[in-house]
Amino acid sequence: GLPLAERLERRIVDGERNGLEADLDEAMTERSPLDIINDTLLSGMKTVGELFGSGQMQLPFVLQSAEVMKTAVAHLEPHMDKDDSGGKGRIVLATVKGDVHDIGKNLVDIILTNNGYDVVNIGIKQPINAILDAAGEHDADVIGMSGLLVKSTVIMKENLEEMNSRGVAQTWPVVLGGAALNRAYVEDDLADIFEGEVSYARDAFEGLRLMDSIMT
């Protein structure tokens, strides 16, 4: 058979979950859960994206791969190093209106939670109203928005404009992430129109670094 790491990556691409947990347990004897996610599972998801984008994979199979990815992350999560005492700061996290992609957002949740932040994860397809309501209700320090569709980058811009017009741009620094964004769009274009602080996180770890710098 294939070496373990390749086998795990194949499981994501093929959406094959039989024996997944056993392979993950074996992988954890050699590598940390986060390394397994970053070096192996995410590269499987990347392949899925490429196959789907080039028409070689149909949507139901993408969904299966996403389910296997989620199962794998759920299996690894309890084994991660954590300081989940909370108290370092609170972030409201959402996938924006019209967008269902949540694997990345949920990884950000895990990384921040495991590093002492309180995360209020309000889920997918969240309109700006719901995001701002949650931020107010939970007395958040930061708002985090995720989105993977090109359409979502436009929604994010509208959300920031809405925060401007409601006069709450200064209330919550905003962190944005997701595959359709890029640094220049956020740090040049969006930062230009937003009356508060907006930053771009390329991955969950940059999200953590941004939280650390905002909260100190």
Binding-site residue numbers for methylcob(III)alamin are: 98-102, 146, 204
Least distance in angstroms from the C-beta of 162 to ligand B1M: 17
Kindly state whether residue 66 participates in binding ligand B1M, applying the rule CB under 6 A.
yes
Least distance in angstroms from the C-beta of 1 to ligand B1M: 26
Kindly state whether residue 22 participates in binding ligand B1M, applying the rule CB under 6 A.
no
Least distance in angstroms from the C-beta of 68 to ligand B1M: 10
Q: Report the binding-site residues.
A: 98-102, 146, 204
**Cα distance between residue 45 and residue 64, in whole Å:** 11
**Cα distance between residue 123 and residue 180, in whole Å:** 18
Task: Report the chain's terminal Cα–Cα distance, integer Å.
Answer: 50
Kindly state whether residue 163 participates in binding ligand B1M, applying the rule CB under 6 A.
no
Range list of H helices, the chain = 4-14, 20-28, 33-35, 42-53, 59-76, 103-114, 128-137, 150-165, 183-184, 191-193, 204-215
Kindly state whether residue 97 participates in binding ligand B1M, applying the rule CB under 6 A.
no
Structure letter (DSSP) for residue 168 = -
Please select the residue that binds ligand B1M; options are 13, 27, 107, 155, rule is CB under 6 A.
107
Please select the residue that binds ligand B1M; options are 8, 24, 48, 134, rule is CB under 6 A.
48
Kindly state whether residue 74 participates in binding ligand B1M, applying the rule CB under 6 A.
no
Least distance in angstroms from the C-beta of 17 to ligand B1M: 15
Residues 173 to 202: which contact ligand B1M by CB under 6 A? 175, 177-180, 201
Nearest to ligand B1M of 22, 59 (CB atom): 59
For the chain, the residue count is: 216
Phi, psi of 11 (to 5 degrees): -60, -40
**Cα distance between residue 17 and residue 23, in whole Å:** 10
Taking CB atoms within 8 Å and a gap of at least 24, the contacts of 57-60 are none
Kindly state whether residue 148 participates in binding ligand B1M, applying the rule CB under 6 A.
yes
Any residues with CB less than 8 A from the CB of 17 and at least 6 apart, and which? 11, 67, 68, 71
Binding footprint of ligand B1M on the chain (CB under 6 A): 42, 45, 48-49, 52-53, 59, 62-63, 66, 93, 98-105, 107-108, 144-146, 148-150, 175, 177-180, 201, 203-204, 207
